[in-house]
Amino acid sequence: MVATGVLLAAGIGAAPPGTAATTPAVAAVTPGDGLALTPPMGFNNWNSTHCRAEFNEAMVKGIADIFVSKGLKDAGYQYVNLDDCWALPQRGPDGNLVPDPVRFPNGIKAVADYVHSKGLKFGIYTSAGTKTCNENGFPGALGFEQKDADLFASYGVDYLKYDNCNNQGVDAKLRYTTMRDALRRTGRPIVYSLCEWGENQPWLWGKDVGHLWRTTGDITDTYNSMLGIAKTNWALADYAGPGHWNDPDMLEVGNGGMTDTEYRSHFGLWAIMAAPLLIGSDLRTATPETFEILGNREVIAVDQDPLGIQGRPIRSAGGIHVFVKPLKNGDKAVLLFNEGEKTERVTTTAAEIGLPQATGYKLRDLWAHTDRHTAGTIAATLPPHGSAMFRVNADRGWAKYPPAVDTGAALQTVYPGALPLVEPGDTASVTTTATNNGRLPAVTVKSVLTGPAGWEAVPESPNDKTILRTGESTSTKWTVKVPANAKPGFYVLAVRTTYRPDAETRFDLEVRVPPPAPAANAYVSDLTWLSSDNGWGPVERDTSNGEYGSGDGNPITINGVTYAKGIGAHAPSNVEFYVGGRCTSLTASVGVDDEEGTDGSVGFEVWANGAKVADSGVMTNDMPAKPITANITGAMVVRLVVNDGGNGITSDHGDWADVRVACG
């Protein structure tokens, strides 16, 4: 129930006693209020800390310090934002929110003052409901909009994230408009983020309410989550522009659930979509690779382009995407993205991206930071989940740049659909390619393939070419010898193609030495997996999916039956593991975990060497566990898939109970 006085007339908006009468009438919202004319950039702690103890004053001040010392402030990052759990569970005697004295012993204003002293801006969080989203039930702003807005203004808040939990069913537009009006009455310019999760299509009405609006549910630190959110967001490009942005949620770059290749794609997708760039990792422990991604000023410049157009895919098919974003100076930003599981050469042309006809074009690689020229083709060989990003224009001085040569490599495998795997002591066959997309020839072209220490790569065909003309390709076959003592893990076979005038191009082919195949019957939850990804939280071993950190699940329970062994997943999910041709069958009992009531529906599939060998059909919560058996004879790699049952992924906790392989 909402307390008396919370709902008034249209439902909400009554300020607590002593506040409404002293505030001026609200002015009409003007799109030109000067705020968020480019997508906001900054930091939010939630993705890395949730409500754990490390979210405190020291962390927030440390992030502000790092923004300055690591050059992130100079790169455009401004906002240092708090998320949920900054306050106590009860309001004070005066009705105001009370900062948690353990987390913030000096109060919120002191933290805001510190952030401001660094030349940065400060943000805070609450929810458009009676409580925030955390299970501890911190007070929300429903019915206290003006009181909380005035408090935030007194703190010196520059940014408000306004969540959607415990909203009592009150109309979303009304709730968010009420807080908008309260913020405006304070007289303080505050960027207003509508964290409404896209439930009521805020892109249709949010432009006159806030400066950005969430288009989806929460992101998690997995490739599948990032990809699904990106796909929802990129379909909404028509609704974004200066002062009003689609928000696909905060960045996960650096949190550890994706590879650096996937994080570069994540960052590039957000930039091409003109999305807010809010760092979600703890920069105090970030790797140099994380800073390199987050600090790429050329990619940031695409996101922050003042024309304010959200880039969109001009072509998407078979997991291959070509994005274009027009820039204010007439350039076009281009993102080539390989969504899938195999290396692909992705191409577009100057004509396709909308540039005028010209003899040659300048091609700026925003990750390699190199200038090349092209006759019109824009191409890159991309690893699985990889991307390339360019800035392209019809430059009359194109000839002063070397021709654009793109390089790639592929490992020949005799197991269709399998990962690029090599076993210790094995001999692998690799083919490298180089293609000249320039108007002028590339001269004295030579490709070299090198591996880690102890690996040997020998060319079996010529690896050089005197002249490579426009549109021509050259390829070389290599024999790669894997050391007999190579330990399980990832290894890079690096291709370097040099050519005149004074240029080179590179491609890293990532291969994996797998863990030993099971020598006897085994539970899959006891094996070392090649990879796993999940729609929400990590895939769990021998528990259900808890949705957040590893190990937070419950006993696997399907239709009242509890299982000690198995895999707890959340659609969409993939688990891949190596069996090395030694196993003949996989068995499991599959179903939706009881912890999700009646909401979930999923499908279970087993794939062997890239071919589907078992399918459960759609499973719902009211169904008992279904036995599933798959013939995996001769398979090198097995993949377990949990997919959406057709009604969205909410509550799709899919359990592989007692999943085991017969081997020997």
| CB 402, CB 363: distance < 8 Å | no
Q: Strand, helix or coil at 446?
A: strand
The set of long-range contacts for 468-471, using a CB threshold of 8 Å and a minimum separation of 24, is 468/405, 468/434, 468/436, 468/441, 468/442, 468/443, 468/499, 469/436, 469/441, 470/375, 470/403, 470/436, 470/437, 470/438, 470/439, 470/440, 470/441, 471/375, 471/377, 471/435, 471/436, 471/437
Helix (H) or strand (E) holding 288: helix 288-294
Any catalytic annotation for residue 218? Answer: yes
Catalytic: which of 218, 371, 426, 464?
Answer: 218
* Cα 240 to Cα 232: distance, rounded to the nearest angstrom: 14
Contacts of residue 45, defined as CB under 8 A and 6 or more positions apart, other chains included, come to: 55, 59, 60, 63, 81, 82, 83, 280, 282
The backbone torsions φ and ψ at residue 560, rounded to the nearest 5 degrees and listed phi first, read 85, -5
Any catalytic annotation for residue 148? Answer: no
Catalytic: which of 163, 282, 593, 658?
Answer: 163
The set of long-range contacts for 338-341, using a CB threshold of 8 Å and a minimum separation of 24, is 338/382, 338/383, 338/384, 338/385, 338/386, 338/387, 339/227, 339/385, 340/384, 340/385, 341/384
How does DSSP classify residue 284? G
Residue 320, CA distances (Å) to 248, 386, 561, 608, 639 in order: 20, 10, 42, 24, 22
Helix (H) or strand (E) holding 225: helix 223-234
Q: Among all residues, which ones are annotated catalytic?
A: 163, 218
